[in-house]
Structure 1
Amino acid sequence: MPRSPVFPKAWCAAALALAMAGAAADTAGANEVFAARVSRVFDGDTLWVKPLDGGRYRKLRLDGIDAPEICQTGGSASRDALAGRVLNQVVEVSVRSHDDYGRGLVRLTHQGDDLAAWMVVQGQAWSYRWRRSPGPFADEEAQARRVRKGLFSDSSAELPRDFRKRHGPCPMP
């Protein structure tokens, strides 16, 4: 019986090592908690912060919500609502993971409030849907819909995911 070549075993070991390194990179910084000052709000679910203990500025995305794109109807109002609440304020950042763009997916709290939940209750974002799940803030969204607050006052408001499928990403400013 012929011997199996060494190359496939070495290739499999190298592939496994690369996969493990990639998984480690995806979780690097996950479960990190720090205080930071909000320096810029890009849209209703994306902002920049500067950690209080030093280090580089970080681009973050609020986990569990989907706010309108900045070029989409309601996008500026959503951004302005978040900026009005936290711009130049100190927040607590809890990093869960990172998205495909390298942004930290975070739970952000300010004065005891979960800012993602607050954005949905204010009618400035949708609870992030995944497959058949209505998302983590379905109750908050239902509450905002009942009182027709913010985005939910317009029956033609379009989910950002659907907007992106039809129009692509907004042009960068």
Structure 2
Amino acid sequence: AVIDVAAKKPSFRLVLVDLTDKNIGQVRLLNELTFPVRYGDHFYEGILTYKDNGGFVKLAYMCDVLVGSIACRVMPIDPKDPTKGMKMYIMTLSVLPMYRRCGVATTLLRSLEEELSSRRESIRVEKEAKARSASHHHGQHNHGEEGYAGQVLKISLNVQINNISAIGFYQKHGFSNTTH
């Protein structure tokens, strides 16, 4: 009997963990195996600090093997006007080839979206508490004082134009091509 292995996806438990100085070497190896470019030491030193600076880095493990990762940093949408808010820029989203189309990248992307949703909710609650406090003590509060400063309002990334599968993946997840 012939069984179409491609038709059956393996079931596995994916575990997401934070980046540390202990697993950064694994991320370097993953990126070397999955990207056509080589990132230098500066890149890896940088992603270790992303989380402390509002960024987002998660690693996906299956059976103690690193199979995927996402590394994002926070950047102003408009560097000249920080009140327009921030964007989460996906520096890398990588998955080992044999684990692609198994939901690893989708899980990593969803974890980013959930984190941003949680942050927005925290900001909303904090602003409401400040507004209640200000109106209680001072009579009124200008809700528009800070604009969107510090808030992550969108996710952005760059993809090589010949990477059709990555473009398709991001489009499937609601991203649009803004290349002109």
The question of a shared fold, defined as TM-score above 0.5 by the shorter chain, is answered with no
Q: TM-score, normalised by structure 2?
A: 0.28
Superposition TM-score, scaled by structure 1 size: 0.29
